[in-house]
Structure 1
Amino acid sequence: MYKYNAIQARIGAFRLGKGVAGALSLVYCLLLSACTVLPNSSEADVQAVAHSYFETYAERSDFDRFMRFYADDAKLTDIVYGNEINGKDNIRDFFDWHRGDFTVVDAGPALEVEEQVISGNQVITKGVFREFEYNGNRMGPWKFIIWQELNQAGKVIAQEDWINYTPKKIMLGS
């Protein structure tokens, strides 16, 4: 329980507007709390899964492959919107790449990974969702930090998404 409480405290600090310092504290806390190295997985295995996950996400063409990265009992938390999605079937409904009309503006990958940190069975990935159109509305680019925890089988069992969804054009008029 201590690990969870320390992480929650850092997330609370980040929510209170600590900005970059809060984000760095969150990353630091997550790295320090990564004490549960899996006996059957090496960091190289975790790195390979993380690379494949984000490559599949960036290509955004094989949704079934994307969903195979999640354990049946996975939990996904969208921090910005406050969504908590439990179970692979509900995560499938949440992401549903087949819903709506999605295209990346310049036909490139949907996202770019800028930095990735792996410690034990945890992955923290920083990047950007590139500019795209969804149902005729232009959106993005959106910066993100995604934290994931993998089980011994290399499946995502917990994920927290920090994505700046806010359509700045709507909110700020620019």
Structure 2
Amino acid sequence: MTRCFAIFIGLFLVGCKSTFDQNNTLTIKPQVEQFISIYQARVDFDAFLKLYADSAQLEDLVYGHHALGKSEIAAFYNWNGGNFKVIDDLKTFELINLLVDEQQRHALITGRFNEFIYHGQNLGPWRFVMTLQFNEKGLITHQQDWINYTPKSDFMTGKNLNKTIP
């Protein structure tokens, strides 16, 4: 019985999202890589949302949007809305650079969104910089996006988030 319990606990721990190094310190790189992979594929919205803490914040600074909590983040992304399609069945975006600071639980991602169709309009490609901050459980608590939206006139009507620094 003890042996079965030990095997069960071992399998459970292997299946957990959080990864720890030899000093039993949380490492976030696997979570960051999972975020990138799920976002690029853009098919499993539930798995994507599970990467966020319940009280997470998302700031799209150029668009001027601030989402507070998982439900507002879900509404902002709205993958299930059916209004988005990547042209030529490419990934949603291409990764250019990834920097991970394990001590600060922070990641910096640069990339390029591939061309896509949104509400019938062809958009992209757009370059971006994204920062992610993680909590002690390996969940995203803060995301900040800087996306080079074009055409500029379609995306410059948002709020000035410079006045609401978290």
TM-score, L = length of structure 2: 0.73
Quote the residue 2:148 is aligned against. Answer: 164
What is the distance in 1 between the residues matched to 2:35 and 2:71?
18
Determine which of 55, 58, 71 is the counterpart of 1:76: 58
Q: Across the two proteins, how many residue pairs are aligned to each other?
A: 131
Aligned pair in 2 of structure 1 residues 133, 123: CA closer, same or farther (>3 Å)?
same
User: 1:98 is paired with a residue of what secondary structure?
Assistant: helix
**Structure-2 separation of matches of 1:97 and 1:150:** 22
In structure 2, the CA distance between the partners of 1:170 and 1:162, relative to structure 1 (3 Å rule), is closer
* 2-structure distance, mates of 1:159, 1:170: 23
- Are residue 132 (structure 1) and residue 116 (structure 2) matched? yes
User: How far is the alpha carbon of 1:83 from its aligned partner?
Assistant: 1.3
1:57-100 deviations in Å (ceiling 9; x for gaps): 00000000000010001011111022111111111111111124
> What is the percent sequence identity of the aligned residues?
36
Unpaired segments ≥5 residues, structure 2: 1-22, 156-166
Give the Cα separation in 2 of the matches to 1:58 and 1:75.
Answer: 20
2:86/2:116 contact within 8 Å kept: yes
1-side partners of 2:144 and 2:152: how far apart?
22
Report the aligned-residue RMSD.
1.9
4+ runs deviating over 3 angstroms: 39-42, 168-171
SS in 2 for 1:106: helix
Q: Aligned residue for 2:68?
A: 86
Q: Which residue matches 1:146? A: 130
Q: 1:40–1:152: 8 Å Cα contact kept in structure 2? A: no
TM-score normalised by the chain length of structure 1: 0.70
**Corresponding position: 1:61 with 2:43:** yes
Distance 1:101 1:170, change over 3 A: closer
Q: Which has the larger radius of gyration?
A: 2
Q: Does structure 2 conserve the Cα–Cα contact (< 8 Å) formed by 1:70 and 1:157?
A: yes
**Residue type at the aligned position of 1:54:** I
Paired letter, 2:36: F
Q: Which is helix-richer, 1 or 2?
A: 1
Q: Which residue in 2 is equivalent to 1:11? A: none
